[in-house]
Structure 1
Amino acid sequence: MMVLGLTGGVGAGKSRILELFSKDYGAQMIQADLVARKLEDPGQPGLAGLVSLFGTGILQKDGTLDRKGFAERIFGNPEALKRVNALIHPLTWNEIKRQIRESSADLIVVEAALFDERSREVCQYLLYVDTQDEIRIQRLMENRGYSRGKCLDIMKNQADRSRFLELADFVIDNSGSLEESRQQIRQILKKTGYDNGPEEV
């Protein structure tokens, strides 16, 4: 089994790269934000932890997390965000480790907004999806209906490209065509020694 970590800034096209791994190599996808989201469902440890930190005021009448209200509450509050991350991140990574342990897949790709050195305990290689800023802005405006200003704000608040490059073993330039990205993935997997992929055409 090989486990790859995949990261990149907003609008870089990580979902397109995940799709190629899934389609061409039958890879199992684990998306950290979806794992975290499930941990914040009723009866899950993430939600219980958030209630103990912030009280029942963060819940809706049906006992689910008021995601919009909670996001507004912690937005622009670094201390609150730090507390949320300190709770949710370890739970998320423990759940990801559990899913990997129980998987029978040859190739697993873990996608997360940001990795750190501890990610090496989970992933053998870290891949960074890099895309020209202007292309990222265009994608966000088209796909999510964001204004240019909102795109720039979000990008400004994310980790710096140099931080990603420090951690990454490989970079996928996702500014071009699907086929160009596919070729880069093929080359990367060759370098890692993973050869359980499609035949060259």
Structure 2
Amino acid sequence: MLVLGLTGGIGSGKSFVMEIISHYEGVVTLSADRITRFVLQKGQVGYSEVVNAFGEEILSEDQEIDRKRLGGLVFEDRHKLLDLEKLVHPLVREHLKKNICEIEESQESEEKKTCLVIEIPLLYEAGFEDLVDKVLVVACTEDKQFERCYKRDGLSEKDVRQRTIRQMPLREKVAKADFVIDNNLSMDQTRRQVEDLWPNIIKIG
């Protein structure tokens, strides 16, 4: 089973590319963001560790962690962001490894040829490269990132820069990648790029 890591910068269009790939035959998908949300839910280990570290001010009325409040706290202080990553990344890694093993076992029992695609925004920054066989980077210009983040989340250029302060520059991700999608173009053009590239990816598996 081929394990493909899908990554890129904020607003680069990772989720759109993932949506395209998810419809291909033999593809199973995982999302590191969803796993992160799970480990931070009330009752999970990550919840208590993060609340202990950052205080109850990050909680919503239903006592769940408010991601916007937490983000507002850590994205303005790189030391707090680093503290959060030290708590959360090991938990996400543990869950990713468990999920990968379970999917591999289920596919072996069914004797199916499968490609597991994992969307991991901080794949390089978190040191998760060893969990995947190949890496696909979705790239776009900074201006496109700012434009998309503003339209999608109402984030200003300053907000985006705060969120990417500890992220690897996109050009470095592109240089390290096995495959690259240029997502500066229209959605149809991006879709065609993915369709053209996909046979080369699954050939490896």
TM-score normalised by L of structure 2: 0.79
> Could you tell me the percent identity over the aligned residues?
31
Aligned partners of 1:18, 1:140: CA distance in 2, in Å?
18
Pick aligned residue for 1:130 from 132, 139, 150: 139
- After superposition, residues 109-148 of structure 1 pair within 5 angstroms as 109-116=117-124, 118-147=127-156
Q: How many Å separate the matches in 1 of 2:129 and 2:120?
A: 13
The 8 Å contact of residues 2 and 204 in structure 2, kept in 1 or not, is answered as no
In 2, the alpha carbon distance for the partners of 1:74 and 1:152 equals 13
Are the counterparts in 2 of residues 58 and 66 from structure 1 also a CA contact under 8 Å? yes
- Counterpart residue number, 1:81: 81
- Structure 2 unpaired stretches of 5+: 108-113
SS across alignment from 2:128: helix
CA shift in 2, pair 1:89/1:20, >3 Å: same
Deviations 1:165-196 (A, max 9, x none): 23211111122344543443345443345389
Shift of 1:4: 0.5
The structure 1 residue matched to 2:179, chosen from 159, 170, 177, is: 170
Q: How many residues of Structure 1 are paired with residues of Structure 2 in the alignment? A: 195
Which of the numbers 135, 147, 161 marks the counterpart of 2:170?
Answer: 161
* Displacement of 1:53: 2.5
Give SS of 2:23's match.
helix
CA contact (8 A) 2:6 2:117 kept: yes
| Distance of 1:44 and 1:80 partners within structure 2 | 21
Mark the CA change 1:26 to 1:139 in structure 2 (over 3 Å): closer, same or farther: farther
Contact 1:128 1:164 survives alignment (8 Å) = yes
Instruction: Identify unmatched segments of 5+ residues in structure 1.
Output: 197-201
- Closer, same or farther in 2 for the Cα pair 1:57/1:11, shift >3 Å? closer
1:190 and 2:199 matched: yes
Instruction: Quote the RMSD (CA, aligned, Å).
Output: 2.8
- Name the amino acid aligned to 1:194: K
